Amino acid sequence: MQFYVRIGGKCAEVRVEVDLINFLVDLQDHVNLDIPRIALKSMHKRNGQLFRGHMRFRGSVWRDWVMVDWGAGYGKIPNKIWGFMDLSKLRKNSRIKFGDIAQLQPVICAVVESAIILGDSHDTELL
């Protein structure tokens, strides 16, 4: 699908994966009482470290890879960053369940593609 984003004050055309659109629409349905419009950001700076998940950085897609420790049962696995969402306006103790997350918290979240091996098949999932 084609969308337009604002880059340096100008609108630019980008192509967005249907999986990402479906993920964001589903999340928006869950948080719309607290956050009527979720914006997907392309960059996040944390402790001096810059992370990118950009749909059009200098004419192409830029997605950083990060190692994420998902805890017991999954361990540390590589993840590809697709973008960032500011969920800081969520009510504390909102009790919103989304995907495998039992309760969304009011924080800045990364949207990542995480790979896991299930038997003989290889599958990825946006989280």
Residue 123 DSSP class: E
Q: Is residue 4 part of a domain?
A: no
Q: Is residue 9 part of a domain?
A: no
Given a cut of 70, whether residue 45 has pLDDT beyond it is: yes
Residue 76 Cα to chain centre, angstroms: 18
Q: Is residue 88 part of a domain?
A: yes
pLDDT at 1: 46
Q: Is residue 65 part of a domain?
A: yes
Q: Is residue 113 part of a domain?
A: yes
pLDDT at 72: 85
Containing structural domain, residue 58: 18-126
Q: Is residue 11 part of a domain?
A: no
CB atoms within 10 A of CB 82: 24
Given a cut of 90, whether residue 87 has pLDDT beyond it is: yes
Closest CA to 13 of 52, 53, 59: 59
For 51-80, the pLDDT digits (tens) are 988 877 777 778 899 988 888 877 888 899
> Who's near 46: CB < 8 A, 6+ residues apart?
none
Q: Bigger pLDDT: 119 or 57?
A: 57
Q: Is residue 62 part of a domain?
A: yes
Range from 42-46, 58-62, 73-77, 83-87 carrying the lowest mean pLDDT = 58-62
Overall number of domains in the chain = 1
